[in-house]
Structure 1
Amino acid sequence: MHSIARILRSVSALWPLYVGVILSSLITAALTLVSPFLVREATDLIVASLNGHTPANTAVRSIFLLSLGLLAADFARTSMNNVGGWIGDVMAARMRQILSTRYYATLLALPQKYYDNQVTGTIIARLNRSISEVTQFLRSFSNNFFPMIINLVAVLVITGFYYWPLTLLLTLLFPIYFWVTTLTSKRWISWEQDKNHQVDVAGGRFAEVVGQVKVVKSFLAEIRELSQFSERFQSTVATTKVQSRWWHSMDMIRGGAMNLIFFGIYFVLFYRTIYGYFSLGDMIMLIQLVGMVKQPINMLSWIVDAAQRAVAGSRDYFTVMAEPLEPSADPQLVAATSASEAPLLEERAPSPLPPHAPVVKFTNVTFSYSRDEQPVIQHVSFEVHRGEKIALVGESGGGKTTLVNLLLGLYQPQEGQLEVCAQDVRTVPAAQLRASVGVVFQDASLFSGTVRENIAYGRPNATQEEIEAVAKRANAHEFITTFPEGYDTLIGERGLRLSGGQQQRIAIARAMLKDAPILVLDEATSALDNRSERTVQAGLEELMANRTTVIIAHRLSTIASVDRIVTLDHGRIDEIGSPADLAQSGGIYSQLLKLTASNSAADQQRLKAFGFSTHHTDDVPSANR
């Protein structure tokens, strides 16, 4: 239960609701205890009347008043129980809000490296399971079980007053019950964690398949995906059989011990009533009180089961929360990861880094995504000056995108130094660094929502005129206005209602609106046909004016007009120079020009290794045809 206590401490701002739960439970328990005493009085009064000790008329009037008392107590208990239930529901909802917000804030503040080994659906499954099970357990506990615990303590006190051996017999239940439960818990939690793992993996794959269902259908993989999904859950069924058999075997031992103890309790009550130690009313009252103990004891197995699920789920939650955050994460995000209330966030637009030469400077930079792997880039050194256009060229996997990731601050160099505007990226706040860089990825990476929201993603307060202006420059305005809803058109998850070229033009417009001094084009026109590319390229040329631009391209025509080309060979700098110089050097760029002009299958295959399109004569700069 340490994990549950840790959850409660972490949301201590909800203490007024905790107090409300405790008070309502105390009142409910007190009202529950009224009924057995009133029934005792009514029973003794009826017995006295039947024995002729009390006149019938007097007994009837008293019994009527006692019945009214029972009605009032029951009505008050029902009302207070619902008040407590409302407080418990609100407490659980607030707790879920706070814990979910913290979890989300932590995910947003984690470094990119955390996501390299994660599946999106698994992350989502952990959120749903971990927090839902914890909050559901606490709501059930506060609404139902906690009032019973208070009743239980009160019953032990009352039975001790009447006859202490009864209390002793009742007390024996707890060490036996908890001892058997302790034997059960360790193995049970191990099985539960195994089931959670299988469900997480299945859920992660489910999210991937639904997100890429066209690919699944195109490759006729529906049966394979369904089979693998079913196998994961079949594994949970097999585990559940063993887990449940173990649990219920232990529960039979618990239940048998309780039955034996209650046998002793009932025999003592009947025996002492026969010999006159208890009146008939006392016996009935004590049987009712003892019955109140039986209910929470019977529920205890369910509570322990729910608690163990919550504990197992909370471990995943705390594992994520313990991950080291990105060193330069936004202070608001960092604060939100431990906020005791759902934070009030203020979206701020940080200023780009002040211009300083050189704008980008790599000095002997080495980086690998895992310290156990071969470095992706090794001892890379080059500079990019203000207003200069640089193209990165090399085979796929040669480190081009890694250089962009480092420039965006998604990862930190393991060796060497990377400076942006003469400032070491290790010392620059991530928000300010990323405000200095506009980027268009190979994948458009749009969000569900409207066209307007996607274009204005980097500047949500942009005016309609500003949004339309960049859409026109990106050759997107024309097709947007053909939609019935225009800029208010919903584009679906990841922009699936748009063609690939339309998605990319929206992404280019988004980068234009951000208006950052440094521009990164990571194969930005890869989804466009030749006609659309030429139109968008004109907008990109305007955008690149007086900006520092880093280009990763899939067509040589895209980089023919750059100032310098940096070629990479297996993560190392091969050559740096102008297109004209490198065209005659015999290096990678020169080879690409020859491969592009060739029609042989071997040369075309070699060209693909560099990520360049084939059979496009436009790819060859005119001077080299």
Structure 2
Amino acid sequence: MHPLIQILRFTKTLWRHYLGIIISATITAATALAVPFVIARATDVAVDGVRTGEQHMSTIMWLAVGLLGLDIANSVATNVNGWLGDVMSARMRKILSSRYFEKLLTLPQSWFDRELTGTITSRLTRSIDNVITFAKSFSNNFFTTLLTTVAVLVISAFYYWPLTILLAVIFPLYVWLTTLTSRDWQAHQDVINTHIDTAGGRFQEVISQIRVVKSFVTERSEQRHFDEHYDATIDTTRTQASHWHRMDTLRRLALNVIFFGCYALIFVQTARGFFTVGAMVLLIQLMNMARQPIMMMSYIIDTAQRAIGGSRDYFAVMSATSPTPALGSSRASTAEPCDAEPLALTPLAGEPALRFDDVSFSYDGSTPVITHVGFDVHSGERVALVGESGGGKSTLVNLLLGLYAPCSGTISVLGHDISTVSMAQLRRQIGVVFQDPSLFSGTIRENIAYGTQARHGPGTDDAVDDDERIRDAAHKAFADRFIRRMPEGYDTLVGERGIKLSGGQKQRIAIARAIVKDAPILVLDEATSALDTKSERWVQAGLESLMADRTSLIIAHRLSTISSVDRIITLDSGRVDEIGTPEELATSGGIYAELLALQASSSRADRRRLEKFGFRL
């Protein structure tokens, strides 16, 4: 489907604006075209008065009033047309941006793994700006231009057909030359856009990790790479601009020659007496009016080419593979609206809370990360995952949350195969605290209340205002202590990604957020990794109460954290090695027994070996 047709299909709800634009454009064109006729008539009347001595003052004044009325009507219609175009373009921006954002929210995690955040943002901004620029120029000028062009051709044919022939030649010739120019321009612009998107993606990445950049003293290197991309855009722009202006000179020369012929015919025929003075004035004004449609049609074609180029990037994202209807959560992919409260998953009797059944997975499709993993976690049970760093522990969490789909095998939650339920249903049942706290800019209160949105659903006012629940969660996570010491308390701004808070403070806010969610299944992905020993004891006490009567899956970095779990599952190179209680595995001679022995050792080699598993004392 042509990109511009796709845009119209996406924005079909704006049909009233489109209709209003057509009507106002028609009035604008009609009033503008009527002016030369009134002026021509006034000219003939005035010339006749000079010849005969009759001044015809009444007729001339009425013609002047007519001109005033036409000008007023034209001004009103022009501004109504412009207002409709501005509102339409603003609504179109909202529709396209919202659809883009909605699409991104439904794309699988693997899609984001291939893209830079800054590149996604840059592509959205550029694509929509190009489309909106075209939409505004099209709505404000196209119909007026089209009607004016047709009217000029018809009127000139009525008065003198050779004029119509000349105009009929220049219109398609100029448009054709513009199309050729724009196509070449767009080919170069694609190269420029690639460099700008790459530079923009790196720019955002560097700014978001500016402390790392400064600590490694790589400012100049980053600046050099950034400048290289923009230097490349300058080189491409030279070629692009050279072709553009050569072609523009050719277009203008053709236009000047054709209009020279038009004016010459009008002057000669008037001198021969074929045209009256009024007809000459009318035709000269029509020729001047014909210039504007030609130039404007060229501009519209140019902006259309840019919009097509920009919309290609837009629709490339919109056509990206989304999860299947069972896995997705968009309006298009499920029967469950985005703003509706997802149906809770009812636990099936006799089924475990979590089940991994012969699950295998690879991020790149060739290197296995998880191989034939199978285990059950019963309701209310606490299970710890133990293994070397990179052994697949966090991957199991990603699979459980539906961020990736297993290559083979099935995962069940509360007895339901997660491939048969919506992601909203699945994720409402799971509270997660990641190793990276991932806070949002805003206040502490808003970050903790983010968990209430999962409980109450989007758009629920009382979710954010549930201050008692927020404070209780902060107290259980031992975050209330440092929050109350801050000048603004719960209204303290945390900065982007919580930059104003320490690692331990951010982690406690994240834990409070999970407590507020109050999901029946809890996943702790090294949730206390950023805490010192004292803070960890505080948080662990809160987590103990949080885990009560809940199914908990724990990835820990301290052996003391997992010593009180019900069972331990050890992973070796993506495979399940052992499953048992801490007491059973302590004497089995497996990975857990090795970790206990390493912890008891004082040698540096054993300590390094312990760190390889991601554990610390």
Correspondence 1:436 to 2:429: yes
Q: Which residue of 2 aligns with 1:42?
A: 42
SS in structure 2 at match of 1:418: strand
* CA distance in structure 2 between the partners assigned to 1:332 and 1:165 by the alignment: 63
Give the alignment of 1:115-514 within 5 angstroms: 115-328=112-325, 333-335=330-332, 346-348=339-341, 350-354=343-347, 356=349, 357-371=351-365, 373-460=366-453, 461-462=462-463, 463-514=466-517
* CA distance in structure 2 between the partners assigned to 1:603 and 1:190 by the alignment: 60
Higher mean C-alpha displacement, 583-592 vs 37-46: 583-592
Higher mean C-alpha displacement, 563-572 vs 60-69: 60-69
Q: Which residue of 1 aligns with 2:532?
A: 529
Q: Residues 265 and 188 from structure 1, CA distance in 2 versus in 1: closer, same or farther, beyond 3 angstroms?
A: same
Q: Residues 179 and 8 from structure 1, CA distance in 2 versus in 1: closer, same or farther, beyond 3 angstroms?
A: same
Higher mean C-alpha displacement, 431-440 vs 303-312: 303-312
Q: Residues 111 and 345 from structure 1, CA distance in 2 versus in 1: closer, same or farther, beyond 3 angstroms?
A: closer
Correspondence 1:82 to 2:79: yes
SS in structure 1 at match of 2:450: coil
Q: Residues 582 and 330 from structure 1, CA distance in 2 versus in 1: closer, same or farther, beyond 3 angstroms?
A: closer
Higher mean C-alpha displacement, 574-583 vs 150-159: 574-583
Q: Which residue of 1 aligns with 2:456?
A: none
CA shift for structure 1 position 106: 0.8
Q: 1:475·1:536 contact (CA, 8 Å) conserved in 2?
A: yes
TM-score (norm 2): 0.94
Structure 1: runs of 5 or more not aligned: 617-625
CA shift for structure 1 position 248: 1.9
CA shift for structure 1 position 337: 11
SS in structure 2 at match of 1:383: strand
Cα shift readout 1:156-212 (whole Å, capped 9, x = no counterpart): 111111111211110111332233234334433222222111111111111112222
Q: 2:329·2:424 contact (CA, 8 Å) conserved in 1?
A: no
**AA in 2 matched with 1:496:** I
Higher mean C-alpha displacement, 579-588 vs 442-451: 579-588
Higher mean C-alpha displacement, 479-488 vs 152-161: 479-488
Higher mean C-alpha displacement, 183-192 vs 544-553: 183-192
CA shift for structure 1 position 524: 0.1
Cα shift readout 1:553-572 (whole Å, capped 9, x = no counterpart): 11111112112221112111
CA shift for structure 1 position 61: 4.0
Q: Residues 33 and 178 from structure 1, CA distance in 2 versus in 1: closer, same or farther, beyond 3 angstroms?
A: closer
Higher mean C-alpha displacement, 71-80 vs 172-181: 172-181
CA shift for structure 1 position 222: 1.9
Higher mean C-alpha displacement, 29-38 vs 579-588: 579-588
Q: Which residue of 2 aligns with 1:554?
A: 557
Q: Residues 611 and 328 from structure 1, CA distance in 2 versus in 1: closer, same or farther, beyond 3 angstroms?
A: farther
**AA in 1 matched with 2:257:** L
Q: Residues 190 and 596 from structure 1, CA distance in 2 versus in 1: closer, same or farther, beyond 3 angstroms?
A: farther
Q: 2:119·2:201 contact (CA, 8 Å) conserved in 1?
A: yes
Q: Residues 552 and 337 from structure 1, CA distance in 2 versus in 1: closer, same or farther, beyond 3 angstroms?
A: closer
* CA distance in structure 1 between the partners assigned to 2:331 and 2:481 by the alignment: 42
Q: Residues 330 and 68 from structure 1, CA distance in 2 versus in 1: closer, same or farther, beyond 3 angstroms?
A: farther
Q: 2:179·2:302 contact (CA, 8 Å) conserved in 1?
A: no
Q: Residues 556 and 366 from structure 1, CA distance in 2 versus in 1: closer, same or farther, beyond 3 angstroms?
A: same
Give the alignment of 1:95-114 within 5 angstroms: 95-114=92-111
Q: 1:102·1:336 contact (CA, 8 Å) conserved in 2?
A: no
Q: 2:35·2:67 contact (CA, 8 Å) conserved in 1?
A: yes
SS in structure 1 at match of 2:485: coil
Cα shift readout 1:293-334 (whole Å, capped 9, x = no counterpart): 112222344333222111111011111111222225788722
Correspondence 1:16 to 2:16: yes
Higher mean C-alpha displacement, 416-425 vs 373-382: 416-425
Higher mean C-alpha displacement, 399-408 vs 5-14: 5-14
* CA distance in structure 1 between the partners assigned to 2:151 and 2:608 by the alignment: 82
Higher mean C-alpha displacement, 523-532 vs 593-602: 593-602
Aligned residues: 606
Cα shift readout 1:246-272 (whole Å, capped 9, x = no counterpart): 122222222222122112111111111
Q: Residues 107 and 379 from structure 1, CA distance in 2 versus in 1: closer, same or farther, beyond 3 angstroms?
A: same
Q: CA RMSD in A?
A: 2.2
* CA distance in structure 2 between the partners assigned to 1:72 and 1:313 by the alignment: 42
SS in structure 2 at match of 1:333: coil
Cα shift readout 1:315-365 (whole Å, capped 9, x = no counterpart): 111111112222257887224999xxxx99635254244254311111211
Cα shift readout 1:86-111 (whole Å, capped 9, x = no counterpart): 01111111111111111111111112
**AA in 1 matched with 2:37:** F
Structure 2: runs of 5 or more not aligned: 454-461
Q: Residues 364 and 197 from structure 1, CA distance in 2 versus in 1: closer, same or farther, beyond 3 angstroms?
A: same
CA shift for structure 1 position 137: 1.4
* CA distance in structure 1 between the partners assigned to 2:533 and 2:591 by the alignment: 24
* CA distance in structure 2 between the partners assigned to 1:483 and 1:227 by the alignment: 41
**AA in 2 matched with 1:363:** D
* CA distance in structure 2 between the partners assigned to 1:443 and 1:94 by the alignment: 37
SS in structure 2 at match of 1:481: helix
Q: Residues 542 and 198 from structure 1, CA distance in 2 versus in 1: closer, same or farther, beyond 3 angstroms?
A: same
Q: 2:324·2:333 contact (CA, 8 Å) conserved in 1?
A: no
Q: 1:368·1:376 contact (CA, 8 Å) conserved in 2?
A: yes
Q: Residues 332 and 431 from structure 1, CA distance in 2 versus in 1: closer, same or farther, beyond 3 angstroms?
A: closer
SS in structure 1 at match of 2:47: helix
Cα shift readout 1:561-611 (whole Å, capped 9, x = no counterpart): 112221112111222222223223332222222333344443333333222
Q: 2:181·2:244 contact (CA, 8 Å) conserved in 1?
A: yes
**AA in 2 matched with 1:30:** A
* CA distance in structure 2 between the partners assigned to 1:145 and 1:222 by the alignment: 49
Cα shift readout 1:521-551 (whole Å, capped 9, x = no counterpart): 0000011000000011011111112221111
Q: Residues 444 and 542 from structure 1, CA distance in 2 versus in 1: closer, same or farther, beyond 3 angstroms?
A: same
**AA in 2 matched with 1:500:** G
SS in structure 2 at match of 1:291: helix
Q: Residues 608 and 328 from structure 1, CA distance in 2 versus in 1: closer, same or farther, beyond 3 angstroms?
A: farther
